[in-house]
């Protein structure tokens, strides 16, 4: 039997150990491990959660990759049409990992009421549009149905609905300028069937979604002409690679841009979260390690006589060091247990009860999103245990300097 492990169990289980001078310091060390795990778990869960939530919201309005004409148009409006008759549409078979391709068009217009008006971008979509993202954003009503050729149903954001006093079931007029400025503008009456709120105010204040046939009619386009294609991929981590492959497999007259390049400032901002997470993890492990070093040193000093007796009986320095490392491992595991219990409790409470709101104008989300995954929880626990034990190897070296004769006489 491993006698070092046996002795460590006896020491931990003894009543004298629990009421010794070192007990308060040991409790502080356990608390430091627990608090460190809670803080690290929250930092990872909220950091990754924010990244994914913000990224998914931008993707919902643009797709992962946008295919459009090569032109100098920097506005949100589709000017020069593209034919839908492309080899990559409706299925992009030339590139693996493409989940969906949809044809859309956009047109700037003015929403007009009896007392007010508001500028907005009308996003025209067809029956190939993927509504899965907006199904999550839907807060009232239903999603539009475009089974009819000239469906007037639209989905409007809560931001625009609140500003203009709209409710589900109401109708409004929207004025669109024609490409030929000498001609009278088009006025179309739309019916609000649903209200969405993505929490991304920068995009919510711009877009309402309706039938692409209205834009085709206003711009005098053919039925097979659209503004641009939106491509969705299966794995976001391969975005840059797939962006290059998509560009290489589209005609030379078309340009492609990834969502991370289109909204570079937002994606550069959320990358900073990674640095924050690494910084918090480093600081918490350092603090927890220092507390455990203090606890170990107190344990060694408190058990100086025992160390002297074990040396006198023939135990070598490494054997005695292992005894104390087993003891410290128990304390670390105890701290990890309580830390995981508290940390996961807080994360699940936030996930299901939305306890901590955020300002959407700053963070693009209305509450702190959390990402819970077994992989990072296990890695965090194992990494903390190993790093703390490695940090304890150095202070345990003090055992080699203890003389058996002096230790036995130590009071």
What integer pLDDT is reported at residue 23 of this predicted model? Answer: 78
Using 50, 70 and 90 to split pLDDT, how confident is the model at 16? low
| Least trusted range by pLDDT, from 27-41, 150-164, 291-305, 327-341 | 291-305
What integer pLDDT is reported at residue 372 of this predicted model? Answer: 93
Greater model confidence, 123 or 26: 123
Using 50, 70 and 90 to split pLDDT, how confident is the model at 172? very high
Q: Please state, in angstroms and rounded to a whole number, the distance separating the CA atoms of residues 183 and 181.
A: 5
Tokens read off for 306: 């025992």
Burial class (CB in 10 A: 0-12, 13-18, 19+), 243: buried
| Least trusted range by pLDDT, from 148-157, 178-187, 267-276, 304-313 | 178-187
Greater model confidence, 405 or 244: 244
Strands 82-83, 138-141: pairing kind: unpaired
What's the mean pLDDT in 179-195?
A: 85
What integer pLDDT is reported at residue 310 of this predicted model? Answer: 80
What integer pLDDT is reported at residue 410 of this predicted model? Answer: 53
Q: Please state, in angstroms and rounded to a whole number, the distance separating the CA atoms of residues 153 and 194.
A: 9
Task: Report the residue count for the chain.
Answer: 411
User: Is 112 a residue whose pLDDT tops 80?
Assistant: yes
What integer pLDDT is reported at residue 85 of this predicted model? Answer: 92
Three-state secondary structure string covering the chain: CCHHHHHHHHHHHCHHHHCCCCHHHHHHHHHHHHHHHHHHHHHHHHHHHHHHHHHHHHHHHHCCEEEEECCCCCCCCCCCCEECCCCCCCCCCCCCCEEEEEEEEEEEEEEECCCCEEEEEEEEECCCCCCHHHHHHEEEECCCCCCCCCCCEEEEEHHHHHHHCCCCCCEEEEEECCCCCCCCCEEEEEEEEEEECCCCHHHHCCEEEEEHHHHHHHCCCCCCEECEEEEEECCHHHHHHHHHHHHHCCCCCEEEEEHHHHCHHHHHHHHHHHHHHHHHHHHHHHHHHHHHHHHHHHHHHHCHHHHHHHHHCCCCHHHHHHHHHHHHHHHHHHHHHHHHHHHHHHHHHHHHHCCCECCHHHHCCCECCCCCCHHHHHHHHHHHHHHHHHHHHCHHHHHHHCCHHHHHCCC
Q: Please state, in angstroms and rounded to a whole number, the distance separating the CA atoms of residues 106 and 238.
A: 27
CB 226 within 8 A of CB 101: no
What integer pLDDT is reported at residue 5 of this predicted model? Answer: 77
What integer pLDDT is reported at residue 229 of this predicted model? Answer: 96
pLDDT tens digits, 288-324: 888 888 888 888 887 778 878 888 888 888 888 888 8
Using 50, 70 and 90 to split pLDDT, how confident is the model at 173? very high
Using 50, 70 and 90 to split pLDDT, how confident is the model at 227? very high
Kindly report the average pLDDT of the chain as a whole number.
Answer: 88
CA angle, residues 83, 242, 215, in degrees to nearest 5: 30
What integer pLDDT is reported at residue 107 of this predicted model? Answer: 93
What's the mean pLDDT in 87-108?
A: 93
Task: Give the number of other Cβ atoms within 10 Å of residue 272's Cβ.
Answer: 10
pLDDT tens digits, 244-279: 999 999 998 899 999 999 999 989 988 888 898 999
């Amino acid at each position: 039997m491993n006698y070092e492990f046996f002795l460590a169990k006896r020491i931990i289980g003894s009543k004298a150990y629990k009421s010794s001078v070192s007990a308060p310091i040991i409790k502080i060390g356990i608390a430091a491990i627990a608090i460190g795990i809670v803080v690290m778990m929250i930092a990872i869960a909220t950091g990754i959660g924010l990244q994914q939530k913000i990224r998914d919201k931008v993707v919902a309005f643009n797709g992962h990759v946008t295919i459009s004409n090569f032109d100098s148009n920097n506005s949100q409006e589709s000017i020069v049409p593209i034919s839908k008759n492309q080899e990559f549409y409706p299925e992009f078979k030339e590139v693996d990992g493409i989940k969906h391709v949809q044809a859309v068009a956009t047109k700037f217009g003015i929403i007009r009421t009896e007392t007010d008006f508001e500028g907005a971008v009308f996003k025209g979509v067809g029956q190939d549009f993927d509504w899965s993202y907006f199904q999550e954003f839907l807060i009232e009503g239903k999603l539009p149905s475009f089974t009819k050729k000239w469906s007037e149903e639209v989905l409007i954001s809560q931001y625009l609905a609140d500003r203009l006093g709209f409710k589900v079931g109401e109708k409004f007029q929207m004025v669109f300028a024609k490409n030929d400025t000498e001609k009278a503008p088009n006025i179309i009456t739309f019916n609000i069937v649903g209200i969405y709120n993505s929490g991304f105010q920068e995009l919510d204040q711009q877009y309402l979604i309706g039938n692409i046939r209205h834009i085709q009619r206003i711009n005098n386009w053919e039925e097979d002409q659209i503004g641009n294609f939106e491509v969705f991929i299966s794995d976001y981590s391969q975005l840059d690679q797939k962006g290059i492959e998509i560009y290489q497999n589209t005609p030379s007259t078309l340009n492609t841009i990834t969502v991370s390049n289109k909204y570079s400032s937002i994606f550069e901002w959320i990358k900073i979260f990674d640095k924050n997470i690494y910084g918090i993890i480093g600081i918490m492990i350092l603090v927890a390690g220092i507390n455990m070093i203090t606890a170990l040193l107190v344990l060694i000093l408190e058990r100086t006589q025992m160390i002297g007796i074990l040396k006198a009986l023939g135990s070598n320095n490494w054997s005695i060091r292992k005894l104390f490392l087993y003891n410290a491992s128990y304390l670390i595991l105890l701290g990890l247990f309580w830390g995981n219990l508290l940390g996961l409790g807080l994360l699940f409470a936030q996930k299901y009860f939305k306890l901590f709101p955020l300002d959407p104008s700053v963070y693009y989300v209305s509450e702190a999103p959390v990402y819970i995954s077994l992989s990072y929880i296990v890695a965090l626990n194992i990494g903390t245990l190993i790093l703390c034990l490695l940090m304890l190897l150095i202070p345990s070296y003090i055992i080699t300097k203890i003389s058996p004769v002096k230790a036995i006489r130590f009071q």
